[in-house]
Structure 1
Amino acid sequence: MKYKLDNFSRSKSMNDIHSRFNAEAEELEVVETIPIEVEQPVNTGPCILISVSYDGSKRKALCKLYDPEKNKVYFWYDNIGHKPYCLSDLSPDKLKRHPVVTHPGFSRIEVVEKYDPLSDRVVRMSKIIAEDPLSIGGKRRSIRELLPKAWEARIRYHNCYIYDRQLVPGLFYRIRDGDLELVPYNVPEDVKKGILKFFRDEPDEVIRLLDEWHPLFLCPAPSIPRLAVDIEVFSPEPDRIPEPSEAAYPVICIAFASSDGLRKVFLLRREGFEFGDKPESLPDDVELVFFDSEKEMFIETFKLLQTYPVILTFNGDKFDLRYLKQRALNIGIPSRDIPILLGRQSTHVLKGVHIDLYRFFAN
């Protein structure tokens, strides 16, 4: 059996420390509403699960699947009614007289059994189910703040969904008649036997775990197209970085490099500058594309962003993508036509996955 228990027997002071420690993680839960519908097929071939998130407009978990055969990203929404929740050691009868049940996001209470590793016993707990993640935690007077103690209340919802559904991002799944199912990877028997001979004296539990983990370690790593993006912004003060939330100055250059060989630089024509032949310092395979208007350059940029399942930046969470989003709004591009979604601490792309390499390497 597998169990999740969050802060099962910690003191209030430890809970306070844990709350501050998780403040940034909780902020990542809040993301803009997805402005358009993306293809949601009822049946697919094998696809790579590249992302699990939460769509606030539909109040459902959202899985993004990349189809390598068709080079498309599909959306699949939860269809089992999974909702955010936390656990309490108060009985349902006590909770019915508790302020929790009057919370606007409260849905219902269920009784579940959980294994408490500290006491080595199974305990009955009340599962408090809410309509959205922020009702559980992440804002003032959330359900967890109303309870004397709460468990599994600081797990970001998409992680909770991944665990409960036993999903493994990076493995192959398919949609069959509207349901999401794993495409099993069968490890060759000779490979299994070769590994097991090193564990022949181990207990049955270890052998069972080996069978479970074989596909995770031996499944071939998928090749997913990636596009790296970097922008340059005009600044009247060369020693000051423009503020992304204001995006007051024009983007003058957007550079792209992809895993499939694309090398392209978008340049904005400006008064007082002459644009001639490509500099000799640039590699031969780099294509320069000039634009007379910033808006036109942005429209082409957004088209390109939506053709790759993975977008790479360096500090794109805090600058590049945020600046592109705000600047696009400033120059009159409707929000529905901008494939960039803002969280409090992170930035996302509509159809695929954004990876900020600055944060990745900072880990």
Structure 2
Amino acid sequence: MQLGLDEHLQAGDRLLLLSAGYDGEKGAAYLKLLRRDTGRVEVRYDDSGHLPYCYTDLSPQEALEALKDLGDSIVEVGEEEKFDALRLKKVILTKIVVRDPLTVGGRKNSVRERIKTWESDIPYHLNYLYDKGLICGITYKDSQNGLTPETLSVEEARRLASQIKKLSESDLNEVASWITIMEAEQFEPPYCALDIEVYSPIATRLPDPSKAEDPVIAVSICGSDGRREVFMLRRGEFSLDTSGFDFKVSLYESEEKMLEDVFEALSNYAIIATFNGDQFDLPYLHNRAKRLGIGKEKNRIVVGREGASFINAAHIDLYSLFLNRSIQIYAFDNKYREYTLEAISQALLGKGKIQIERPISELSPRELATYSFGDALLVYELLSNNERLIIRLILVLCRISRLPIEDLCRHGVSGWIKNLLYYEHRRRGWLIPRPEEILQEKGMTTTKAIIEGKKYRGAIVVDPIPGIHFDVKVLDFASLYPSALKRWNLSYETIRCPHEECRSNIVPETGHWVCTRKRGLQSQIIGSLRDIRVGIYKPRSSDPNIPREKRMWYDVIQKALKVFLNASYGVFGFEEFPLYCPPLAESTAAIGRYVFSQAIDRVKELGGTIIYGDTDSLFLKNTDERTLKSLIKWADEILGLDLEVDKEYVYLVLSQRKKNYLGLTVKGVVDVKGLTGKKRHIFALAHRLFEQMVEELKQIRRPEDFEKFKGDLIELIRESYNKLINREFEVSELAFSVMLSKSPEQYTKTTPPHVKAAQKLAAIGVKVGSGDIIQYVKTKDRLGVTPLHPRVEINKNQVDVESYVEYLKGVFQQVLDSLDMDFDEIVSGGKTVKRTLDEFL
């Protein structure tokens, strides 16, 4: 259904805003709105006359003269007042309104190519959302006055905000505005997972989505309405036994009819999820349908520069979402390390893809149906797992970032934060600065980096005291850097402000000062997000007095906020970030160091023992409750920061290496940080030995238990060493597994081992590409690696045993250092076969 924004249906209709876009043919922005009453998405085109625009510092006459050959595309040129936050003053700029986004930028001779402009690189559909004040992920009520957000009342939000301690009046208002958005009711959109399979006449050739020359032979849909269906094309001599299937199979003689029915089935869903659908499934379906003559009224897929979606649904590409490091680390606790559907499903669902031995084109109809539906089912279960966590998380992140669903999934957290800050600039009537202006006005850094290649000094790390430590508590500053931004009023416009009276408000260890007259934008926004997470949503997510369903919703909110907050400091210090301000990044790090060093001094004053410290965490040994309470109270009263006990260890094993330790928590979990044996790409033999060692570490409760553990560890190391030098192993046990981040031919500057192995596979006709896991074994030939693959034979005598011995040493030595033991001494004392070095070569 396509309507103008004034063609309202019945007053009071409730609509969930999912996404927005721009239709070049109609020359208008549009919204994708999910109707609660019908469960269908309705597309509404702008009818307000909103048009693309940008700003310049030329006068209207100068701008018209410079752009006179674009006269037909320019609608209006006039002056407008904006607040220049960089210089903290109002300015008059010329606003250039044009007929289409490409006139602003994106093609030759566009406005931004010709003259100096501001706000000319913002995608038009985002500009539209800024100006209309619309937020995706929010439910709206339809009325004669337009779309009205259904959010919590300001009065109720202020009541909740007042529960957070130490909020100023301006901060109370900002926090309350966030609460109104976070507490807005959300209804569950109908969703499905989609997977397609394409026939390829050459088994090793990947079908080209841009050409779509080969037929689509299977399409699987798994939906929240109970649909479990495979649409399959009959080919050649066809026989299909569907006994035992828990899904429906619909067979077609005509590919055109099959795709038309697929599009009709997809129209029942507001959200359609794929795995790598931006790059393959959707472009292929779109172009194949065009090739078969299916018109736009049925082929509802739209393909853009960044990906693909549907006119009447939002598209979630789970590959792009899971590739986001912030999602991986903060939302899913690093449970997956590789970005394939197999690896992610195994990590989050405990099961993987249907394994096949032959190319897609050679599968029997039964095998094809099972394989295709298996992939769709995994994508669906990833969406549905843990009470639809991913869908809920995406919708909350849309609320925070102000991004449409597709944009959120395709961009990293720096893009999310950028969009939020741009939205807030526009809401406040502020001019969004050009990146080079910030550098010109604010200058560069003043501290010297300790680590080569860094722009300024980073965080403090307290050298670890090697050994075994019992009764260890970890004190952690809750959201240190977001807290620093808030507490010290850090923002690009407040750092090195133009006010003389502020120059005495110096950031410790730097030559920078902070404004005392104006509240900083980044400080207030990030500070408010931190306040609502720490003060409201994190405690509510575990409050047994709150109904379970509501608790789960609060947990989604606090997870989404955590993703934002933990990334904010890194983003502000990222040179490619458009609001990058070196003094701001440096000052944030300096305050982090200042706070941390103050905490170290306070611990020493109270007689505590620090055995390790890193950035915002202090590891304390044998610390009593009175000392802990004193530290927490001191941090609150003197620093204005929250210090909390993050973890408690029965024991902690520290080596001389920083950021490397292992310990047993009081909950019985062995916590491993930075140790080689924990890393996913390690070969299976070393990983198994490491896990065996970890299992034994779980049994330790007293210092004397370590003596038995040491004896067992010596035997484990000697046994594994002897297996290696005597070649008593399976070659598959020695395979490293590393993911290709791009296709092999794109590696030009360096060629890592897994790329060499991939290139060797490609040379014998094996299809490899970005996202594939390459398994390889270190060998004694010129290349140094051999891929582990059914089409490649590896003899045990080819294996470079010496390399594996060194790697094994690296795995164990990190733990042995803590125990004052040495790998070489252990193996030399228990070696059963003596050989010369030459025999290894």
Select 1:146's aligned residue among 83, 93, 114. Answer: 114
Give TM-score scaled by structure 2 length.
0.37
Give, as a single letter, the amino acid of the residue that structure 1 aligns with 2:294: I
Check the 8 A contact 1:90/1:126 in 2, yes or no. yes
SS at match of 1:150: coil
> Shift of the alpha carbon at 1:194?
4.3
Q: Decide which of 219, 225, 245 is 2:190's aligned counterpart.
A: 225
Deviation at 1:191, TM superposition (A): 7.0
For the Cα contact (< 8 Å) 1:100–1:106, is it kept in 2? no
Query: Hey, what does 1:71 align to over in structure 2?
Result: 39
Q: Which of 254, 273, 278 does residue 238 from structure 2 map onto?
A: 273
Matched AA of 1:174? K
Unaligned residue ranges in structure 1 (runs of 5+): 1-36
Gaps of 5+ in 2: 325-841
Name the CA distance, whole Å, in 1 between partners of 2:68 and 2:153. 49
Length, aligned pairs only: 320
Higher relative contact order by CA 8 Å / sep ≥ 6: 1 or 2? Answer: 1
Query: Aligned-pair RMSD on alpha carbons?
Result: 2.0
Answer whether contact 2:220 2:231 (CA < 8 A) is retained. Answer: yes
Structure richer in helix, relative to its length = 2
Task: After TM superposition, give the deviation of residue 47 of structure 1 in Å.
Answer: 0.6
CA contact (8 A) 2:233 2:251 kept: yes
* Paired position in structure 1 for 2:135: 168
Q: Would the aligned equivalents of 2:39 and 2:189 in 1 still touch at CA under 8 Å?
A: no
User: Of 274, 283, 288, which aligns to 2:249?
Assistant: 288
Distance 1:135 1:295, change over 3 A: same
For the residues of structure 1 that align with 2:84 and 2:90, how far apart are their CA atoms? 6
SS in 1 for 2:279: helix
2:2–2:45 contact (8 Å) kept in structure 1: no
* 2:150 maps to 1:184: yes
1:256 counterpart = 2:217: no
Tell me the CA shift for residue 100 of structure 1: 4.9
Distance apart, 1:102 and its partner CA: 3.4
Aligned partners of 1:185, 1:336: CA distance in 2, in Å?
35
Aligned to 2:59: 91
Q: What is the identity, as a one-letter code, of the residue corresponding to 1:180?
A: G
Contact 1:38 1:351 survives alignment (8 Å): no
Q: Secondary structure at the match of 1:317?
A: coil
Structure 1's 241 and 66: CA in aligned 2 closer, same or farther, altered over 3 A? Answer: same
2:125 equivalent to 1:158: yes
Is 1:42 matched up with 2:8?
Answer: yes
- Distance in 2 between residues matched to 1:59 and 1:331, nearest whole Å: 28
For residue 273 of structure 2, what is the aligned residue in structure 1? Answer: 312
1:245 aligned onto 2:206? no
Q: Which amino acid aligns with 1:291?
A: Y
Q: Is the CA contact (8 Å cut-off) linking 1:100 and 1:143 kept in structure 2? A: no
Q: Give the direction of change, closer, same or farther, for the CA distance of 1:190–1:141 in structure 2 (3 Å limit).
A: closer
Q: 1:121-172 deviations in whole A, cap 9, x for unaligned?
A: 010000011001000001111011110x110000111111111111111111
Query: Is contact 2:150–2:184 with CA below 8 Å preserved after alignment?
Result: no
Query: How big is the shift at 1:316?
Result: 1.3
Counterpart residue identity of residue 43, structure 1 = L
Instruction: Give the Cα–Cα distance (whole angstroms) in 2 for the partners of residues 90 and 50 of structure 1.
Output: 38
The equivalent residue for 2:99 is: 131
| Aligned residue in 2 for 1:193 | 159
Q: Using a 3 Å threshold, how does the CA distance of structure 1 residues 160 and 292 change in structure 2: closer, same or farther? A: same
Deviation of residue 252 (structure 1)? 0.9
Is residue 354 of structure 1 aligned with residue 319 of structure 2?
Answer: no
Tell me, in whole angstroms, the C-alpha distance in 2 between the residues paired with 1:323 and 1:95: 43
Larger radius of gyration between Structure 1 and Structure 2: 2
**Closer/same/farther in 2, CA of residues 246 and 94 from structure 1, 3 Å limit:** closer
Is 1:299–2:264 an aligned residue pair? no
Q: TM-score, normalised by structure 1?
A: 0.82
CA contact (8 A) 1:105 1:130 kept: yes
Label 1:39 to 1:123 Cα distance change in 2 as closer, same or farther (>3 A): closer
Corresponding residue for residue 236 of structure 1 = 201
Structure 1 contact 170–222 (Cα < 8 Å) conserved: no
CA distance in 2, matches of 1:104, 1:344: 26
1:333: Cα distance to partner? 2.2
Q: Is the 8 A contact 1:173 1:180 kept in 2?
A: no
Residues 157 and 180 in structure 2, CA contact (< 8 A), matched pair in contact too: no
Cα distance, 1:207–1:258 mapped onto 2, change above 3 Å: same
SS at match of 1:53: strand
Is contact 1:235–1:241 with CA below 8 Å preserved after alignment?
yes
In the TM superposition, residue 337 of structure 1 has moved relative to its aligned partner by 2.7
Q: What is the distance in 2 between the residues matched to 1:276 and 1:39?
A: 46
- Alpha-carbon shift at residue 195 of structure 1 (Å): 3.7
Corresponding residue number in structure 2 for 1:105: 73
Task: Looking at secondary structure, tell me which structure has more strand per residue.
Answer: 1
Percent of aligned pairs sharing the same letter? 34
Q: Deviations over 1:314-350 (max 9, x none)?
A: 1111111111122122223234431111213311212
- Report SS of the residue matched to 2:164: helix
| Superposition pairs of residues 335-346 of structure 1, within 5 angstroms | 335-346=296-307
Report the Cα distance in structure 1 between the residues aligned to 2:59 and 2:302, rounded to whole angstroms.
40
Q: Which amino acid aligns with 1:301?
A: V
CA offsets, 1:225-283, max 9 Å, x none? 111110001112222211112212111110111123221111111113321233x4x4x
2: CA distance, partners of 1:191 / 1:141: 49
Q: CA deviation at 1:38?
A: 2.4
Task: Find the aligned partners of 1:190 and 1:95 in 2 and give their Cα distance.
Answer: 48
